[in-house]
Structure 1
Amino acid sequence: MGRGYRRVHLEPAGAQHICANRPGARPSFGQTGVESSAMSRIRLAASLVGLLLGAACVPPPGDALEERIAEDPTLLRIVDRGELRVGIPTEALGIGADPATPGREASLTTDVAGWIADALGVEPSFRFGTTAEILESIHGGDLDLAFPLMPMTEGAVRSTKRSYTAPYYVAHQRLLLAPDTTGIDDVGKVCLFGDARTQVPVENISPGLEGIRSNDGQGCARMAASGVVDAISAPDLLLYELEASLPGSRLLEPSYNTEGYGAVVQYGETGLAGFVDAVIARAIDDGRWNEAFEARIASLTELAAEPPDLTAEEAGALFPRGLPLE
């Protein structure tokens, strides 16, 4: 992949919810990684339970994250290793991140990864790359978890290449008006980019619209800036960066589809996927997800936060037919 792993300390948004006495602190496990027997891992998980139940880090009533760790070999291996290897997409400002670019060091996905690592008592070790690159690393066993920027479909969820978590983000196809376009009635030509398989054709949005497809958002941005098109259509999580970079552009609230974006783990690692789901659900309940949206995305758009509320199966069922297994 070229970029390799980077141990970058990024304080997750909402970290104050993790530990009352030490904001964002991660428990220390002493001999983590030294002992490798099943019994030592169970003792390690038991230590985690004790730490989580301490006065500084009291889990919510009924929390069962520590039980998940003690019962799952993959989670125990990650705790033994002392780090969670995470693939972060470099696309889409606010969602993806790239520490090599000033202002793009942290994002919603690095925040989510930080919450998961905190819940395990380990450090996140980030690998940054394109969606294709981080998926390749998941398939090759080089990552525990990755956040690809691709919508979930039934074919994807049923794939035997990887397993999905529930969505960490729910996006909608919308229209971004070009700088010189005053309203929807002035839209004639629309540039589209993203996954065409899940997008609504622009002629279905409004009669008379003409769609022009681009390979990426920058191509659409150039056409919008030069007046070739009157609007851009794509999932909103891909439009935030364009809205911020095109002065005078405006992202409209009406939406035309719903897409779930989930994290992926190595195929069959259902214990890790379930753990991720539980951590994200807790972050939604205690407000950390909304805080991360405010910290990473709210400055890019006027759209309100929409915490995800779909399971992986429900997200896949949004696009059930005509899409092959991946």
Structure 2
Amino acid sequence: MPTFLYLARRVLQAVVVILIVTVVVFCLLHALPGGPARGILGPQATAQQIAEFNRQQGLDEPLPVQYLYYLRTLLHGDLGTSYTLNEPVAQLIEQRLPKTLVLTVLSAVVALLIAIPLGMWQAVRRNKPVDYVVTTLSFVAYSTPVYFLGLILVLVFSQLLPWLPAQAPQGDTLAQVFADPAGLVLPVVAGAASMIAVFSRYMRAATLENLSEDYVRTARAGGSRRNALLWRHVFRNSLTPVVAMLGYYVPVLFGGALVVEQLFNYPGMGLLFWSSAQSSDYPVLLGCVLVISIATVVGTLIADVVQRIIDPRVKAGRA
């Protein structure tokens, strides 16, 4: 399939999925206790205020018409107003989302920089003692809850060995976050641990599969050195499943960020979601759900595009 048609099809699919997400969030909004007006205006709103809000927002119209109004407000960046913080939800997310992206991107980069060579190293040493040791450690890291790992990191590196702060960087801007790089270490490690375990296993399996391919045997028979063969050929072909999984791992990253941010008091969107859940601030909760869902769809789209670039089989339309 030509590249343009492939990209057009994937973008169209992403748009359809995003529309489905907006329908789900719209339904959740109408399932709020007391309806969307009560959820947006807060529990102290009077019946007269609710009626006036319904009239202004078109909530007294049929549901299909209300959904069109809802889409229009979304396109204008209006996600409602937090009735506990008394600020627009879009503004709150705009302040917090960049800090969450910094945390998740740093965690993903650290995880991939460790997991990819680690997985290839395990594949080359398959069924040797070091392979079994690393595999065991990977299973332990994958099965350890993020909050428990975070507590262990704080206990060891902030209490027993006071090398790193237990609290993440504070502040409203990214400049304030980057001003305290030591405070990012423990949250990033906590967020990256399970990713290292997962992606090293995928990389190991993909490398083993490619090492058994005919082109590897042919290259070996032609006198190619092992390191050159690994990094020039096997490495690129083995990245395909890792890249594909990375797009689907976006919601896991945001889910982990919720726990990590609450544990280390990191002022990102995860902490905002946690605080809003504690106070039943429904507009903020639904706004966060919508943003995370769209980020997941976009992440999957980017992963598919990158996979098509690095995998010749996808280019040829056979995968």
TM range, smaller chain: under 0.3
Higher fraction of helix: 2
Higher fraction of strand: 1
Structure number with larger C-alpha Rg: 2
TM-score (normalised: structure 1)? 0.27
